Amino acid sequence: MNNIRRMLDRGLEIVGGTLLAMMVVVVCWQVISRYVMGAPSIWTEELLRFSLVWLSMLGMAYVCGKQEHISLTLLLNKAPDHLRAWWMLVLQLTFALFSLYILIIGGLKIAGISMLQVSPVLQIPMGQVYYALPVSGLLIIIYSILNITATVKNLRGVPHSAAPSLEENHD
C-alpha cells in the first residue's frame, strides 16, 4: 500500500508540476506576443483554461490523498483518538461516494454528451476536458481506500507509516 501511495503521489506531483510549468510558459508567451509583438496569440487563453481545469481536479485528488483538504476540526480536535479515527473513516467514505456518483458517473455522462462539441480555437473535443472529472474521481477513490486501510490499521494498533497521522492538524 505504501508503494501505491508513493507512486500515485509522485505521478500527480510530476503531472501537476508539468502542467503548472507549461501554464507559466504559455502565460509568458501570451504577454510577449501581446505587448512585444503587438499580435496576441488566440490559443493561449483556451489552453490555459483547460489546463487549469485539469490541474484543479488532479490537485483535488492529491490533496484528498494527503488528507490536507479543508475540514472543520474544532470539535474533532477535542475528541478522543478513537472518535477521530471513526470520523476519518466516515470522511473517507463520504469522499469515495461523492467521487463515485458525482465525479465518475456524472463526469462520464457529461464527457460523453460533450464529445461532439469542439472547442472554438484548439478544435479538441470538450469531452476530453471533462474527462478530468472521472479521472480525479477514480484517484480520490483509490486514495480513500488507502486512507481507510491506514485508519483501520491505526485503530487495530498496527503502525502504518505512509498514512497521514490522525494527530496532524490541517486547518
State the average pLDDT over residues 51-64.
96
| Angle (nearest 5°) at CA 46 between 44 and 49 | 105
pLDDT above 80 for 72? no
Predicted confidence at residue 158, as pLDDT, reads 59
**Torsional sign, CA 69, 72, 74, 78:** negative
Structure confidence by residue, pLDDT tens digits, 132-152: 999 999 999 999 999 999 989
Q: Which residue has the cell 463515485?
A: 100
Structure confidence by residue, pLDDT tens digits, 87-97: 889 889 999 99
DSSP sequence for 90-150? HHHHHHHHHIIIIIIIIHHHHHHHGGG-B-TTT--BHHHHHTHHHHHHHHHHHHHHHHHHH
Paired with 125 in beta bridges are: 118
Domain coordinates in residue numbering, the chain: 2-156
Flag the least confident range among 37-46, 50-59, 74-83, 147-156: 74-83
